[in-house]
Amino acid sequence: MLHTLCKVKDIPNEGTLLVDFFGRTVHVYKLDNKPVAVANVCTHFGGPLEYRDCKFVCQWHNAEFSLDAKRLTAPAPSDSKLMFLSTRVDGEDFNYIWGD
């Protein structure tokens, strides 16, 4: 299965692009100059994440995560990580892939 998240040219060099994803949202951004997508869900209680000061911050309880998805501050569990989606670039498109 292949699902286009966005055009590669629309991915910002700094910050994130919030993209609809099957009734939910994902943050699309560049990590080490490579496009990635992470689920917009905090591992503590499922709250939405905001990109702020080069990290993700839960809008409900202020748990913080690095751009490589590792938990920085509580109340998210210390060993938790945000979920990256399986993705690939196909020409001009940045796609979610499943079962490929």
> What DSSP letter does each residue of 9-28 carry, written as one string?
GGS-SSS-EEEEETTEEEEE
Domain count, the chain: 1
* SS3 of residue 87 by DSSP: strand
From residue 28, alpha-carbon distances to 9, 36, 47, 71, 77 in Å are 12, 6, 17, 18, 23
CATH number at residue 20: 2.102.10.10
Cβ atoms within 10 Å of 21's Cβ, excluding its own: 16
Say which DSSP state 88 is in.
E
pLDDT at 99: 83
Domain span holding position 66: 2-97
pLDDT tens by residue, 24-75: 999 999 999 999 999 999 999 999 999 999 999 999 999 999 999 999 999 9
Q: How many residues does the chain have?
A: 100
pTM of the model: 0.94
